[in-house]
Amino acid sequence: MILKIRPHFTLSEVARMAGVEKSELRALEERGTLPPPRRTPENHRVYDFEEARRIVGLTAPVRPRRIAIVNQKGGVGKTTTTFNLAGALARRGRKVLAIDLDPQANLTSSLGVEMKEGDPSVEELFVEEEFDARKAVRETRIPGLSCIPARPRLAGVEIKIFDAFLRETILDRKLEGIRDEYDFLLLDCPPNLSLVTVNALVACEEALVPIEAQTYSIKAISDLTNTVALIRSRLGRGVALRFLPTKIDGRLKVGQEILEAIKGGLKERVLPPIRTDANLVRAPMLRAPVGFAFPRSKGAKDYARLAEELLREPASAPQGATAGKPEAFNG
Ligand SMILES: Nc1ncnc2c1ncn2[C@@H]1O[C@H](COP(=O)(O)OP(=O)(O)OP(=O)(O)O)[C@@H](O)[C@H]1O
Ligand SMILES: [Mg+2]
């Protein structure tokens, strides 16, 4: 079954987006400050995505936030985070471009983007010199959320770009022309520290690192922070790392202990955790982020809280060559 997504927002949803009471918007509407709402066949008053953005005052040009979702360990929640965070941000009126950089193409299929033979994908951004990234962008069923899809043959891209000129900055250069059309770019990385992942880190100012509580490994984190430090020193690009504990079972003592250990080792860069929730496994099958598919679930609440946290204050890119390293690895 595929969940039907409403293409519009109600006045209550727009009020929540704007952080004001519904009555305040009502008053504006009566004074004619707000555009008159459309009526659905059931006579509900609704706004489309662009109208909702205008009302909430989100149309002023801002610098897009570019966030890589990265961890070379497999199965830690990268795709789950990209998918549900993208949904949570779009639900708050933000324009989001989710980019699938994994040949497994789980993000692409979760978003319900079907690929036919000849449809452009992220691979073309890497291998075709003159390719316009806009041609690979696909709309999803979620208002405000677009996607650059992947396909399995992306696995061969590493070899194709190995000898390319400035091969670490290909993606960054390709996205330059379109990124200002979005509030957020979220890049779902493959489970390795390949050239594709390095391209993602170079194209982003922030990286969000999901850490699965059960498989938390200091070695993996230190390999990742070393890569980030190299990108900083060799290419002069700073990436602010933040860590996101995932699959936390708050009821179990061990879950709490692992969370404390992660926080202790990584200091302030730890984001509010995502708890274990089976709805996060179900939502991709409905082709809808958890906030749309199961709005009252733990998963929906946790990803909403993460979106709020990211909207509250942008992470600033670190300055020094060793910046981005957790305190525990600096000495
Ligand atoms: N908080 C959670 N609660 C329950 N299940 C989760 C949670 N987060 C992720 N999962 C499940 O764990 C599995 C791995 O998650 P996901 O695919 O997001 O990881 P990944 O890091 O993208 O993996 P890969 O490295 O293979 O790309 C999936 O089946 C997903 O549904
Ligand atoms: Mg994945």
Which atom of ligand 1 lies closest to the CA of 80? 18
Which residue among 80, 110, 212, 276 has the greatest number of ligand 1 atoms within 8 angstroms of its CB, and so is best to mutate?
A: 80
pLDDT at 50: 87
Count other C-beta atoms under 10 Å from residue 200's C-beta.
26
Q: Which ligand is nearest to the CA of 100?
A: 2
pLDDT at 326: 40
pTM: 0.90
* Residue ID of nearest Cα to ligand 1 atom 8: 77
Mean pLDDT along residues 230-251: 89
* Residue ID of nearest Cα to ligand 1 atom 30: 281
Give yes or no: residues 46 and 105 share one domain.
no
Can you give the CATH number for the domain in which 21 is found?
Answer: 1.10.1660.10
Residue 242 has pLDDT above 60, yes or no: yes
Residue 320 has pLDDT above 70, yes or no: no
Any atom of ligand 1 within 6 Å of the Cβ of 197: no
pLDDT at 314: 66
Mean pLDDT along residues 14-25: 83
Between 277 and 321, name the one with better pLDDT: 277
Any atom of ligand 1 within 6 Å of the Cβ of 74: yes
Domain boundary pick from 10, 34, 60: 60
Give yes or no: residues 44 and 146 share one domain.
no
Mean pLDDT along residues 59-70: 84
Any atom of ligand 1 within 6 Å of the Cβ of 265: no
Mean pLDDT along residues 238-260: 82
Any atom of ligand 1 within 6 Å of the Cβ of 102: yes
Give which of 194, 247, 193, 248 is closest to 221, Cα–Cα. Answer: 193
Tens of pLDDT, residues 154-194:
889 999 999 888 999 999 999 999 999 999 999 999 999 99
Give yes or no: residues 67 and 51 share one domain.
no
Give yes or no: residues 280 and 294 share one domain.
yes
Give yes or no: residues 273 and 189 share one domain.
yes
Q: How confident is the model at residue 269 (pLDDT cuts 50, 70, 90)?
A: confident
Mean pLDDT along residues 123-133: 95
Q: Is 173:33 a contact under the CB 8 Å cutoff?
A: no
- Which domain, by its residues, includes 239? 62-329
pLDDT at 29: 80
Mean pLDDT along residues 47-68: 82
pLDDT at 217: 72
CA 209/CA 76 separation, integer angstroms: 9
Q: Is 157:196 a contact under the CB 8 Å cutoff?
A: yes
For the chain, give the mean pLDDT: 88
Tens of pLDDT, residues 34-48:
777 888 888 888 888
Give yes or no: residues 48 and 168 share one domain.
no
CA 111/CA 91 separation, integer angstroms: 15
Tens of pLDDT, residues 84-110:
999 999 999 999 999 999 999 999 999
Poorest-confidence range of 221-230, 267-276, 316-325?
A: 316-325
pLDDT at 327: 37
Can you give the CATH number for the domain in which 315 is found?
Answer: 3.40.50.300
Give yes or no: residues 137 and 277 share one domain.
yes
Domain boundary pick from 60, 78, 95: 60
H or E element at residue 184: strand 184-188
Any atom of ligand 1 within 6 Å of the Cβ of 80: yes
* Residue ID of nearest Cα to ligand 1 atom 29: 281
Q: How confident is the model at residue 321 (pLDDT cuts 50, 70, 90)?
A: very low
Domain boundary pick from 38, 60, 82: 60
Give yes or no: residues 41 and 164 share one domain.
no
Give which of 257, 258, 223 is closest to 241, Cα–Cα. Answer: 223
Any atom of ligand 1 within 6 Å of the Cβ of 8: no
Count other C-beta atoms under 10 Å from residue 230's C-beta.
13
Q: Is 70:156 a contact under the CB 8 Å cutoff?
A: no
Give yes or no: residues 8 and 101 share one domain.
no
Number of domains in the chain: 2
Residues above pLDDT 70, as percent of the chain:
92
pLDDT at 268: 64
Give yes or no: residues 184 and 308 share one domain.
yes
Give yes or no: residues 48 and 111 share one domain.
no
Q: Which residues contact 61 (CB under 8 A, 6 or more apart)?
A: 180
pLDDT at 56: 78
Q: How confident is the model at residue 267 (pLDDT cuts 50, 70, 90)?
A: low
H or E element at residue 99: strand 96-100
Give yes or no: residues 23 and 106 share one domain.
no
Residues above pLDDT 90, as percent of the chain:
59
